[in-house]
Structure 1
């Protein structure tokens, strides 16, 4: 079976809503605690420096608007779906923009005489509350906009004392860093969850028969089975008259043809083919060549070791934050020359794994442990290309001859 001649099937593990829901509750709690702590800190800073405000009523109005918005969010949020509705989010953004404007005007003073904005900085912490409930782009755009406004304020005020530049940079960082860090945390968690779910799906093929239909084909077979059951039930109950009309006969013929095709495919596609093609991670990145279906002869431990090793080699860049996995070729064949004195040369399978962009010391140690379960191996490095040649022995491989 040549990987390049087969249709690539990409399957996401679970829906987006299911993946997003995982870990959301704990993230919300953590972000809420951090956000309210940062907001309380900014409120304390404002109370300590009341005497330096040039227009204190405006800053107090800004804080009042922000606190009312936060209280409303705490009350309403548990009653909302996982993702914050657009209308409510943009309304909150508009209120926050008004808060920033009031606080900037309330603290405005030429040079270094004015107070540092606090309600405007607290808006950044308030955005942290929305990180788990909105797309990352919304939070990033709002955070950058807030940072630009504060930077513009300090630039227009003019910082005559160089020692005042430090507090200005800290103020901007306190407003922008929390939501951006929150976005990165959520993104990393979702990537981790997706990888783990993908691994669970891939490993489910280890215990399946050597030749079998995959998960996607199983769903299609269930659909065909239901269609056939309805057709037969109609005939048995008399709702469908005999002989069948042209339309019903054509539908029955189509169902029979699809069932035969699935039965034929089930004898040609191995568990490894389905593990690769139905994985959202492995499917686009792995080129599989197994024209004789030798993967079906591997034992369960050998399957688990091979699949785990391939998955670790592919997913390592993604787990480290890269957007794309490595590409990898996986070739299974019979050894061209049997070893001298081998009593059962047909029991040997040659497995070659080749991937690029791997540092010499950059392979996960667990990958080598997994490869040892498959058989004896020899690894070679040529530039950035890693080539692993595995000789596997399986008692059942002789049956495939």
Structure 2
């Protein structure tokens, strides 16, 4: 299977199919990312036009010569090249060579503008094109990474600040104007970066939830994405070993190193298959989620979570998601989910197993929980809340769907013999 590596929180080395990684990119690009990029581009255009208007107003004050227009011509050339390249490379990311070239080219308008305005701050003349380069970087940060754009904008702002401070002795009150112009080269991009990172974090969490929610429709003891990858690798190694033996490349009896390899493969297969008996959808949903894996611990040794109906599964997953979202930053204690079946429960009237779910929550202020959290918990089953000094516990007792097949251990736990 062709795979592509993506971030998965605490699961180092976990790989998802390349198609899944491509879906993540498509959602960011087409289902909101493009709208955000359009809005950022419009905001950048407004800032550039405002700086251009300042240049027109300040032009009469400049000494004879090219004035600020050399820097502005350089900016327009950079913008034209960037727009044309984006039109022709819309279906793929901006090439690295062109990206680096455009960033390096911003030094030209900055240098021309600083040279043209040097020594004129006492007249109220400040850079305009150099300050506009920060706005040029705003749509770039939406298309490519935000770190490089932020570093470049900070460098430009530092150059303008140094120019202002070196003229402070003669500029007098216009020094504050120069500092404001230097800040205007950085501040819009900082706000853009905050918005972009927040948007990407939100989209990443929602998309991760959508991907993990596919586990709610699986059988009681499914193989998750990670287990499927491990089984595929073990299957490939076993087939390679058998092919080597069958073709005569490895003699029988097996050499010591090959015998050890075969034993290791057999042990890994047995371990994986035995673990799969109790690895329910809930364990896979938590393990395979980049958002939940480091924040939720599942204790379900008998695999009773597999008895829940699809609607109960979906609401339990949503409740965990909302609880994790309310945790304080830096909270080391994860949310613990304990799934069991109460002894001595004879549900002969409904003929449906009873599953008890206990959620130990720490690092969350109960009164600040969104009402939708309790709606989700209520959709799983009847529940009680036990408050503690620094945490609280949610005890849920739910009657599972009678159409869900019950294994012998689960049936015995839900309907003890002799009762």
| Counterpart position of 1:44 | 53
In the superposition, relative to structure 1, how do residues 202 and 146 fare at CA in structure 2: closer, same or farther (>3 Å)? same
Cα displacement string for residues 179-231 of structure 1 (whole angstroms, at most 9, x for unaligned residues): 22222222122212221221122211111111122122223334455566678
2:217 partner SS: coil
2:342–2:356 Cα contact (<8 Å) kept: yes
Q: Which residue of 2 aligns with 1:62?
A: 71
Is 1:146 matched up with 2:156? yes
C-alpha contact 2:47 2:135 (8 A) present in aligned 1: yes
Question: How far off is 1:32 after superposition?
Answer: 3.0
- Tell me how far 1:168 sits from its aligned partner: 4.0
- What are the Cα deviations for residues 242-291 of structure 1, in whole angstroms up to 9, with x where unaligned? 98674798577766554444332221322211111121111111122122
- Point out where structure 1 has 5 or more consecutive residues left out of the alignment: 1-7
Report the secondary structure of 1:187's partner residue. Answer: helix
Structure 1 position 85, deviation (Å): 4.6
Is 1:54–1:106's contact at 8 Å kept on the other side of the alignment?
Answer: no
State whether residues 40 and 138 of structure 2, in contact with CA within 8 Å, keep that contact through their aligned partners in structure 1. Answer: yes
Tell me, yes or no, if structure 1 residue 331 matches structure 2 residue 347: no
1:301 is paired with a residue whose SS is helix
CA-CA distance at 1:120 after TM superposition:
0.6
Task: Say whether the 8 Å CA contact 1:154–1:168 is kept in structure 2.
Answer: yes
Secondary structure at 1:213 match in 2: coil
Equivalent position to 2:373, from 367, 370, 395? 367
1:196 counterpart = 2:206: yes
**Against the structure 1 CA distance between its residues 244 and 78, is the aligned structure 2 distance closer, same or farther, given a 3 Å change threshold?**
farther
Q: Show structure 2 runs of 5+ residues with no match.
A: 1-9, 414-419
Aligned in 2, Cα 1:383/1:241: closer, same or farther, shift over 3 Å? closer
The answer to whether the aligner puts 1:350 opposite 2:361 as a matched pair is: no
> What is the CA–CA distance in structure 2 between the aligned matches of 1:335 and 1:345, rounded to whole Å?
15
- How far does residue 368 in structure 1 lie from its aligned partner after superposition? 1.0
The match for 2:119 is: 109
* Structure 1 equivalent of residue 392 of structure 2: 386
Following superposition, the deviation at residue 126 of structure 1 comes to 1.0
Match of 1:71 in 2: 80
Match status 1:311 vs 2:325: no
Alignment of 1:1-400 (within 5 A): 9=11, 11=14, 19-21=24-26, 22-23=28-29, 24-54=33-63, 56-57=65-66, 59-80=68-89, 82-109=92-119, 112-158=122-168, 162=173, 164=174, 167-168=177-178, 170-225=180-235, 246=254, 258-316=268-326, 327-335=334-342, 347-394=353-400, 396=406, 399=411
Query: Matched residues in 2 for 1:323 and 1:19: separation?
Result: 27
CA RMSD of aligned residues (A): 3.7
Q: Call closer, same or farther: CA 1:344–1:291 in 2, change over 3 Å.
A: farther
Contact conserved, 2:341 with 2:355, CA < 8 A, in 1? Answer: yes
Name the SS of the counterpart of 1:49 in structure 2. Answer: helix
Whole-Å separation in 1 of the counterparts to 2:17 and 2:157: 36
Normalising by structure 2, report the TM-score.
0.78
Partners of 1:326 and 1:55 lie apart in 2 by: 68
Alpha-carbon spacing, 1:361–1:144, altered in 2? closer, same or farther (3 Å): farther
Distance 2:263 2:62 in 1: 83
Higher relative contact order (CA 8 A, sep 6+): 1
Query: How far apart, CA to CA, are the structure 2 residues paired with 1:324 and 1:14?
Result: 31
**TM-score, structure 1 normalization:** 0.81
The structural deviation recorded for 1:309 is: 0.5
